[in-house]
A and B are shown apart, each in its own frame.
Chain A
């Protein structure tokens, strides 16, 4: 499946990122995708499409960019991540499992009574979650508050926040976009998982966001568009965000909903549906899972 047409802003110099690094990130992403499919299959409930589209970006954030200690989650100088599109949290749980923040065994309890892994991020139940989210449109405001606090403390920590494209239809997002731009918060990095599909169908048909880059720029955000499944481009964008001064930074990451599992790709049916047994086996096969 191909991405929708767009012109990438990425200017990756040859050899900027070693083959070894890119291969490592790809391996991690493959494992996370397997964990997403497994945990949602076991729960028979969850959002595979938007978890799979977000996976490569989350892997790049947690295995390349962000400063944090998996063994000291409350380290005071850590960078912060808010998953505003909370329904994509199985991807984050997969990342946390790979980092040893949660036990792999926990993944099989996703969405079950008593589990530390809720259907949407819960900071009080799951270690590593910085903010409880799930009601769309709220995470950017929370990240904005965190960024203001960090600036008040004269610290150079960064706040990363990932939004869904459908989520950009929420009015609160644009309240926060306006304020972050006016506050010139250059410690705030937004990422839009632009997979083009929301629960009821295509974003373009339901309430089109285009021209999204122009909108972000008009709200005084430095904005780049990239291929959200190309690690060279993701790493480039995250590094650009570090160089950026005087404005918040937005990464519009063009992605494929359901990325990695053929029958889920660009298929609105898998926004919020678990695979059946046959689909599950097929998905694991495609992802190269050993069991």
Chain B
């Protein structure tokens, strides 16, 4: 399957927004050649600010620019954008309710060789707990471009999580259009459902294909809008199956699975199987090797579901 970089898609979307709207400004904290915001900087040097290795200052500057009428995209690696500058995101951005879009790359363990310090498995938890913040995790390059354009259109703070790895393209020649709070059922099923985000969407599709061969029909839902959730769709499947599965490249604590649990536990009795990182730090390794180790590749998902359903 054809693969494409989400970061390159982000840069393309930024440049097209920059061309049509002078209010769009972009900030980075010395990772612009990695996050790809440097491409916007080449095209619009006046509206690109490399703040230096000072993520806290970057989030404050982002707030100030937004308070003065700009639409601000601020980028860094997920671990720094969410963790290093959390209080600044809370106070300067969310409490001020400003038009700042934090687009963080290098989410999850597939950051790979850099190891635990740079792998972000807690960012979704940190960001979704904040009032006024919305959290989006796209599943491929095409969805990424749509998400960037959508968060530009919508008022207020957003956290968008991208990955270092290229992702298989899921939405080529598709008429899918991303909406905040709406999920996309990529494949329906009659025996069970898996809600997935980011890379796990593709891995879940592969697992579903294998399970299909064994007569188990699994619905696969791209759940890119982590906050707000698509409550209607989640409820529908929870009611239908009584048990659901969630897969994410994130800690089980505080991630999408936790968000769905929080919602469903007040609505309907349902058992939720969470596939994610289980309260441990990652380590160095190739992205695919790490996915395999953490049972986040298609085989891991397939085996987890098989044993859970006793297929």
Residue ranges of A at the interface with B (Cβ–Cβ < 8 Å): 80, 122-124, 130-135, 137-150, 152-153, 171-172, 175-176, 178-179
Q: How far is the CB of A76 from chain B (nearest CB, A)?
A: 9
**Residue on A nearest B69 in the bound complex, by CB:** A149
Q: If the complex has contacts A130-B67, A135-B91, A146-B68, are A152 and B60 also in contact, measured as CB distance less than 8 A?
A: no
Residues in A neighbouring B64, C-beta threshold 8 A: 131, 141-149
A140 with B60: CB separation less than 8 A: yes
> Complex: how many Å from CA A123 to CA B51?
25
Within 8 A of A (CB), among B31-74: 46-47, 49, 51-52, 54, 56-70
**Distance of A149 Cα from B69 Cα, bound (Å):** 8
Q: Does B92 contact A (CB under 8 A)?
A: yes
**B56-A141 in contact (CB<8A):** yes
Q: How far is the CB of A61 from the nearest CB of chain B, in Å?
A: 18
Most buried by A among B61, B69, B92, B96: B61
List 19 contacting pairs A-B, 8 Å CB cutoff, sorted by A: A124-B96, A131-B63, A132-B96, A137-B56, A140-B60, A141-B57, A141-B64, A142-B60, A142-B92, A143-B64, A144-B61, A144-B64, A146-B67, A148-B49, A148-B61, A172-B54, A175-B52, A175-B54, A176-B61
Contacts of A145 in B (CB 8 A): 60-68
Q: Is the interface of A mostly helix, strand, loop or mixed?
A: helix
Q: Which applies to chain B's interface (DSSP): helix, strand, loop or mixed?
A: helix
Q: Which residue of A lies closest to B90 (CB)?
A: A135
Say how far B47's CB is from chain A's closest CB, in angstroms: 7
* B97 proximal to A (CB < 8 A): yes
Q: Is the CB of A179 within 8 A of B52?
A: yes
B88 interfacial contact with A, CB 8 Å? yes
Interchain CB contact under 8 A, B68 and A150: yes
**Nearest chain-B residue to A144 (Cβ)?**
B61
From B97, which residue of chain A is reached at the shortest CB distance?
Answer: A124
Residues of A within 8 A of B90 (CB): 135
- Chain B residues in 8 Å Cβ range of A141: 56-61, 63-64, 88, 92
Interface positions of B from 67 to 114, Cβ below 8 Å from A: 67-70, 87-88, 90-92, 95-97
Chain B contact residues (Cβ within 8 angstroms of A): what range? 20 to 34
Nearest CB of A to B39, in Å: 20
Complex A-B, nearest 8 residue pairs according to Cβ-Cβ distance, in ascending order? A145-B64, A141-B60, A149-B68, A175-B57, A175-B54, A145-B61, A142-B64, A145-B65
B97: A residues at CB distance < 8 A: 124
Most buried by A among B60, B65, B92, B97: B60
Residues of A within 8 A of B277 (CB): none
Q: Is B290 an interface residue (CB 8 A)?
A: no
What is the bound-complex CA distance between A263 and B50, given in angstroms?
48
Q: Contact: A172 with B57, CB < 8 Å?
A: yes
> Nearest A residue to B70 by beta-carbon distance?
A149
A143-B64, A145-B60, A152-B25 known; 7 new pairs, CB 8 Å cut-off, are A131-B63, A135-B87, A138-B87, A138-B91, A141-B56, A148-B65, A149-B68
Give the distance in Å from the alpha carbon of A131 to the alpha carbon of B92 in the complex: 8
A12–chain B nearest beta-carbon distance, Å = 32
B46 and chain A: residue at smallest CB distance = A152
In the bound assembly, the distance between CA atoms of A123 and B60 in angstroms comes to: 15
A256 to B61, CA, bound (A): 31
Cβ-defined contact, B60 with A172, below 8 A: yes
Who on chain B is nearest to A149 by CB? B68
| Bound CA span A130–B66, Å | 12
Residue of chain B at shortest CB distance from A141: B60
Task: Name the B residues within 8 Å of A130 (CB-CB).
Answer: 67
B33 to chain A, nearest CB (A): 19
Give the distance in Å from the alpha carbon of A249 to the alpha carbon of B67 in the complex: 22
Q: Which of B62, B68, B90, B97 has the most CB of A within 10 A?
A: B68
* C-alpha gap A177/B65 in the complex (Å): 17
